[in-house]
Structure 1
Amino acid sequence: MASISVPNPVPSATQDAENIRKAVQGWGTDEKALIEILGHRTAAQRAEIAVAYEGLCNESLLDRLHSELSGDFRSAMMLWTADPAARDAKLAHKAMVWVLIEVACASTPDHLVAVRKAYREAYSASLEEDVLKQFLVRLVSSYRYSGELVDDELARAEAAELHDAVVVRIVSSRSKPQLKATFERYRQGHGKAIDELAAVLKTAVWCLTSPEKHFAEVIRSSIVGLGTDEESLTRAIVSRAEIDMKKVKEEYYRKTVVNGDTSGYYNGILLTLVG
């Protein structure tokens, strides 16, 4: 469930665009006004505002936000205002394995198709071609059934296949010295330890079955310890605000925690999006 609140009645896109123009013109910027407008509009409404703003001011809304804002607040506002597919294509372009898993596994089939299209338009390349790992290519190139029907026989058969999988067979039947040698050969051949593959698989399964748990953990990890991982915190909140942020909050989120780890207008937009 989405966490953002939209006013009723909602102002027209033209009216919102005019108010944004007033917020960014002249000396200084009215950041609170930007949060109040953009932070309380859906993706479709933000897209209409962007079109209206460009027609009114003869410039891109994203370009204007980039020039007016700075720091983590700018990053959050830019990601939030961007088209969701274009946003996720940009995140995927960084080729961070965990972000790729999030985009591939926590998106609806239609959204993933839109991300692939946006990626090609933005970078003149195929997302599939840019994802090097075969496992991830399978995830981003598929159109997964998103309905509620379940094939119990298929589930039973594939559970048996998982139980009898090669990795399980090897781990359960080889001596510890043999396993150590096998895992070392794997590291030499693939450039990473076998436990990294296990972590990738675990994250993929989590995103597929319980995305709210995964993103709750992303938020938790981004604010524990010394310092805050603003990039991960922003990504998690912005990407889930219109999808399942209420469930994410039920899993972990406490407003006082984020409130204590962020400040200023960056804090303002995050708290607006989490509801």
Structure 2
Amino acid sequence: MATLRVPEVVPSPSEDAEQLRKAFEGWGTNEGLIISILAHRNAAQRKLIRQVYAETYGEDLLKALNKELTSDFERIVLLWTLDPAERDAFLANEATKRLTSNNWVLMEIACTRSSHDLFMVRQAYHARFKKSLEEDVAYHTSGDFRKLLVPLVSSFRYEGDEVNMILAKSEAKILHEKISEKSYSHEELIRILTTRSKAQLNATLNHYNNEFGNVITKDLEADPEDEYLKLLKAAIQCLTYSAKYFEEVLRLGINKMGTDEWALTRVVATRVEVDMERIKEEYYRRNSIPLDRAIAKDASGDYEKMLLALIGHVDA
């Protein structure tokens, strides 16, 4: 489901490193050359380029990019060049900082990565920040948000397709009871959402819908102003159908008065190698305009070129 367009014959990492070095030298940076290389290499290839670059030039490629680039273009290139687990660790850490704190980013990483990927994020976090992700999330959140987010970022779900229908039935009933009582942060509700496999959750929520005549997210719309409820609803969406969630983040990010470049950059950098095709389909279905057209109308310059190249726009 990835959109990344990698050439049939990929130059060696040392050729790529050499070309990048050239892009930084001389008068002004050659942004086009940077895009033509980095936007067309997969995670494993980018990792090798970074290794070779460091060995050859005694400098981290990220540091060089940081020196040469600016603003939104710099952010998308740096996020993209990072190893996926490092990138998520960086985004999660940023989300726990006072000025950029964002419970949504934490929830998104916890709910849309596979168990193994989330485990790798926790390891990368540990290595880079000398603390655990759980520790920082617990410190930065409070109340119901903490009750939900700490177990979400700590979870290690079963990834297979095995489903227990009897359990799905009984847990759908528990969820319905708690929601009817408005006990939205009840430990049983949180236990089910933060520990069950995605397949099991889907079975439970299908049962919920059939048995109680409403999809669970509808029942969570009780108080549209409640930030915790919004987050809880989004977590369920991320766990069950993440493309729909990411479409919404992009739609809101692009159609705001002034673009939310942070959201746009994050979704593109983190989903290109995962499910961007599905997100693009969802975007078109919902907005009757292809995502690349929406981005081209909204972004500009090298930032726009990098985004379009990443989402597989043919001319990029």
The answer, yes or no, to whether TM exceeds 0.5 is yes
Is residue 111 from structure 1 mapped to residue 117 from structure 2 by the alignment? yes
Is residue 6 from structure 1 mapped to residue 43 from structure 2 by the alignment? no
Match of 1:122 in 2: 128
Match of 1:98 in 2: 104
**Residues 14-23 or 143-152, more deviating:** 143-152
Q: Percent identity, please.
A: 47
C-alpha separation between the residues in 1 aligned to 2:72 and 2:120? 26
Is residue 135 from structure 1 mapped to residue 148 from structure 2 by the alignment? yes
Unaligned runs of 5+ in 2: 97-101, 139-145, 184-223, 285-289
Shift of 1:150: 2.2
Shift of 1:225: 3.1
C-alpha separation between the residues in 2 aligned to 1:61 and 1:22? 13
Q: Which runs of 4+ in 1 moved over 4 A?
A: none
Per-residue CA deviation, residues 102-142 of structure 1 (Å, 9 max, x unaligned), is 10000011111111111112211111011120211111111
Unaligned runs of 5+ in 1: 172-192
Shift of 1:194: 7.7
Match of 2:168 in 1: 155
Aligned residues: 253
Partner-residue secondary structure (3-state), 1:252: helix
Shift of 1:170: 4.9
Which residue type is aligned with residue 251 of structure 1?
Answer: E
Match of 1:43 in 2: 43
1:167-186 → structure 2 map (5 Å cutoff): 167-170=179-182
Match of 1:211 in 2: 242
Per-residue CA deviation, residues 182-235 of structure 1 (Å, 9 max, x unaligned), is xxxxxxxxxxx9822211110100111111111111110011131001011000
Shift of 1:152: 1.8
Higher relative contact order (CA 8 A, sep 6+): 1
C-alpha separation between the residues in 1 aligned to 2:84 and 2:226? 32
Shift of 1:151: 2.0
Match of 1:33 in 2: 33
Match of 2:262 in 1: 231
**When the two structures are superposed, what TM-score results if normalisation uses the length of structure 1?**
0.89
Cα 1:221–1:194, aligned 2, differ >3 Å: closer, same or farther? closer
**When the two structures are superposed, what TM-score results if normalisation uses the length of structure 2?**
0.77
**Residues 240-249 or 53-62, more deviating:** 53-62
C-alpha separation between the residues in 2 aligned to 1:121 and 1:67? 24
Shift of 1:157: 1.6
C-alpha separation between the residues in 2 aligned to 1:148 and 1:69? 45
Match of 2:212 in 1: none
Which residue type is aligned with residue 224 of structure 1?
Answer: N
Match of 2:296 in 1: 259
C-alpha separation between the residues in 2 aligned to 1:41 and 1:170? 48
Which residue type is aligned with residue 152 of structure 1?
Answer: M
C-alpha separation between the residues in 2 aligned to 1:3 and 1:125? 34
C-alpha separation between the residues in 2 aligned to 1:124 and 1:170? 39
C-alpha separation between the residues in 2 aligned to 1:163 and 1:69? 51
Match of 1:190 in 2: none
C-alpha separation between the residues in 1 aligned to 2:91 and 2:13? 27
C-alpha separation between the residues in 2 aligned to 1:4 and 1:153? 41
Q: Please tell me the root mean square deviation across aligned C-alpha atoms, in Å.
A: 1.4
